Amino acid sequence: MTHFAQGWSPDWAWVAAIRSISTVRDELYWNTVEPRKGVYVFPREYDSYMDTLRIAGISPLIVLSFENNNYDDGLTPYSDEP
């Protein structure tokens, strides 16, 4: 588990690649990716991070984590609301 969304530099990817690590799990913040309901935005730094992983030969498993203010009053999702 890496923590790019929490401020880790993507430079660590090169260290991981040298050590034959080919897969990482990480989170990107759901609130950032979907700032308005149904509107998805991937900030430049997220795209840059994905590019770094791709070039380093690392496959990411990304979780859109934590709450989103657009759903369930910003709480952990609990309803069937799409």
Neighbours of 32 (CB within 10 A): 16
Q: Which of 14, 32, 34, 33 is nearest to 24 (CA)?
A: 14
pLDDT of residue 1: 84
Which pTM does this prediction carry? 0.81
Average pLDDT by consecutive 10-residue portion of the chain (82 residues)?
A: 86 93 94 95 93 96 93 92 77
If you count DSSP H runs as helices and E runs as strands, how many of each does the chain have, helices first?
A: 3, 2
